[in-house]
Amino acid sequence: MSTVALSPPLRLVEATQAERAPVNKWLVTLSVSFGTLMGAIDASIVNVALTHIRGSVGATLEEITWISTGFVVATVLVMPLTAFLGRLVGQKRLYMISLVVFLAGSALCGMAWSLWSLVFFRVIQGFGAGALQPTEQAILRQTFPPKEQGMAMALFAMAVMLGPAFGPTLGGILVDNASWPWIFYINIPVGLLGLVMVWRFVHEPEDIRSANALAATEQKKNIDWQGIALLSVGLAALQYFLEEGDKNSWFDSRLITFCLILAGLALAAFVMRELSAKVPAVNLKLFKDPVFASGTLIGSVMFAMLMANLFLLPVFMQELLGFDATQSGVS
């Protein structure tokens, strides 16, 4: 079975919308938006609480950044593998598993007793959050008819962008009026509601299920462990280089230099592996589409700038300007 045929299962066995069992597309959209919105909020809600968490766990400003970094790294590691995982277990099941992992991570974060326990639990939370956004896109794509795909993606984008918009404000209110663990506990009731709604209202179409079963059979025989390992090592080394480089005078440190070399070699090997693998974990041939490639580039630049500001501004306003958490969140 060809790589191209495996990547978009919708092309393997395609049924018209009329042939599928009827579903309420608006309830499906609402159901899957809960998890996506929480994942987007959690990428920014913690930033306004960092000063309070820092005092609680006795961390330095440099150490406290790993609370946000750990979540982002875990999310980035899982996100490219979502199609691979979705073919193995199905989109609905993957979404529900990811949401359960995210909620478990949220509960553990609220109970963390030290900085590094919190970082570890944030990584667990990030592993759960990483698959939520791509899986919602897949579920919406198989729920809405072709002529409404643009509207479906607009609804998805709205859920993603509401997170950074409201996350800091919500986090500030919770920190000032309760305590920092509640920025994690708040996810639990909302997530449980979303989990029940996904179980009740989201139904994977039979043609999609059949396509995934065909793809998964071939994929299980050729699981791309090398690609997964290279991606994990490359991204982890790159993130460590970017996170710790300025603290260690960049290339004056052998460890930082080693991490950059390791990241470059691992990611280059990953690209070569994915282009030659029979069933790649990440289908890089999608970047041959100029629309997809340019959209990915624009989105990457936009979110890099957005997330940098969402981290730096709350710390600056609280540490230097004397703002409380709510004021920095609203600002």
For the chain, the structural domain boundaries read 24-223
* Per-residue pLDDT band at 4 (split at 50, 70, 90): very low
Average pLDDT over residues 129-140: 85
pTM score, whole prediction: 0.80
Which pLDDT belongs to residue 137?
A: 83
Closest among 123, 96, 101 to 112, alpha carbons compared: 123
Considering the chain, what percentage of its residues have pLDDT values greater than 90?
Answer: 11
- Higher per-residue pLDDT: 89 or 7: 89
- Mean confidence (pLDDT) of the chain: 80
Judge whether residue 13 has pLDDT over 90: no
Pairwise CA distance, residues 108 & 118, whole Å: 8
Pairwise CA distance, residues 283 & 299, whole Å: 18
DSSP state of 217: H
| C-beta neighbour count of 286 within 10 angstroms | 14
Which pLDDT belongs to residue 298?
A: 86
Burial of 29 (0-12, 13-18, 19+ CB in 10 A): buried
Burial of 188 (0-12, 13-18, 19+ CB in 10 A): middle
Which pLDDT belongs to residue 241?
A: 86
Judge whether residue 33 has pLDDT over 50: yes
Judge whether residue 34 has pLDDT over 60: yes
* Per-residue pLDDT band at 1 (split at 50, 70, 90): very low
Greatest mean pLDDT among 40-44, 139-143, 252-256, 267-271 lies in 267-271
DSSP state of 181: T
CATH topology of domain 24-223: Growth Hormone; Chain: A; (1.20.1250)
Task: List helix spans (H) across the chain.
Answer: 3-6, 25-42, 50-57, 61-78, 82-89, 91-110, 115-130, 132-143, 149-177, 182-185, 187-201, 206-221, 225-244, 254-276, 290-319, 325-330
Which pLDDT belongs to residue 20?
A: 56
